[in-house]
Chain A
C-alpha cells in the first residue's frame, strides 16, 4: 500500500464542464464515490495526472420512471438505488444486488456508474442490468452514444470508455406485470464481500410458460456475461423445477471461469448452476408463477 499518487482533482460545476475537462486535460479520469478508484490508486506507483470529480453533479444523479423506461443517472448512489421503490418493483434483481453490495458506508459513496465503469467481472450491478436488456449512454464533448450494456464491457476491468468519455446514464424497460427478476450470489461470509460467483435471471411469464428469459452471470468470465444458449432453452417452455435445474446445468456447461484468490474455476462452475436455478425460481415466483 502506498500513499495516493499526486494528481489534480477538478470539480466541474456542470456536465458540459466535466466533458470539456476530460477532453482537454492530459491523462484524466473521472471519479465519483471513489470506492474502487481510491483503493486502486493506493496500489500504484503512478496514477492519472488528473481526476475529474463528477459526484457533485446533481444533473447526473437521478432515478426516473417514464414511458415504461427506468432511467438512472450515472452518479446515483447505491444507497439511493436501495431505497428506491421504483427499483424494488421495476428492477427486482437490481434491488437484490444492491441490497447485498458493500456496507452502508460503501453504498453511500458508491455509484451505479462507478460500479459499471470499474468493469470488474464481479460487478454486482451488471448481471441484473444485463438481464433487463439495459443500455448505457456515454457522452463526450459534443456527442453522446448509446449502446447495450453487454457491449460496454470489453475485458476484466476494461470498459469501452474512451479517455475523454463519461458514462452518463443507464436505462432499461421497467419490469411489467407477469415478469420477475432476481439476483443471487456467493460471497465468502455473510457480511459484505466480493462475489465469488453471481447470477441474475429475468422471466416474462405467459401462464405456465416462460415467454421470454434472460440469464446473466458474474465472476465466471473476463466480463459479466449473458448466457444466450440457456436463454434459448428456456424460452417458450413450460416451467417446472426440473427445467430450471436443467437450465442451471446448461449455464454451468457454457462457462469457463478461472482460478483466483477468491475461488477456483471448478467451484465457480460447480455453483453457477445452483445460483442460476435459485435466481430463476425467485424470478418466476415474482412473475406470479407457481413451481411444480
Chain B
C-alpha cells in the first residue's frame, strides 16, 4: 500500500515522473486557460453590482487560491522531509517556494487593482489583505533561510521548519473574512454550500482555476527536475539523465 510513497522518495523515480508529467500538465493548462479566458472575458454576463469590473475575478481568485495551495504543498513536503528524512521533500519545497511567491504577488496586485474601483483604495490594512501579505513574507522568509546557510542541509532544515510552522497562516487567510470584519467579500467557491455565482460566471472561473493548478503542476515538475539534479549531481543515474 505504501509502495507509491516509498517510490516518491527515490530521486531518479521523481525525476522521471516529473519529466513525463510536464507536457500533459502544460497542455491541459493551455486548454483550460483558453476556455476560461474566452468565456470569462467575452461570454459571461456583467455582474449586476460591479459591472464589467468583476471580470478581474478570473485571475484574482485562481491566483489567490493557488498562493494558498502552493504553500500547503510546500509545508506538506517540508513536514515529510523533516519527519521521514526524505530529501525529495526538501527539493519539492524548494521548487514550490518561488512559484508560490509569484502567485501571491499576483493575488495582491490584482486584488489591489480590483480594490481601487470597488473600495476606493488600492490598499487597506484589512485582515484578508494583511494575512495574504504575511503569506508573501513567509515565502520570502523560507527562500531566504534556505540560502542563508553555508551547509545546504542546514538551510533545508531551517526552511522546512519555518514552512511547516507557517502553515498556521493558511486557514487565517481563508477564514479572515469570517473571523473579522472585512472589506473583502466572503468565499465564492471554497465554502460549505453551493457557490454564490450562476453557472455562466462560475464555469469560466473553475476553468481558470484548473488552468492555474495545472500550470503550477507543470512548472513545479520542471523546477523539481532542476532541484533533483542539483542535489544528486554526484549520483551515477545523473550521468544518464544529463545525456538526454
Is B a genuine binding partner of A? no
Residues of A within 8 A of B (CB): none
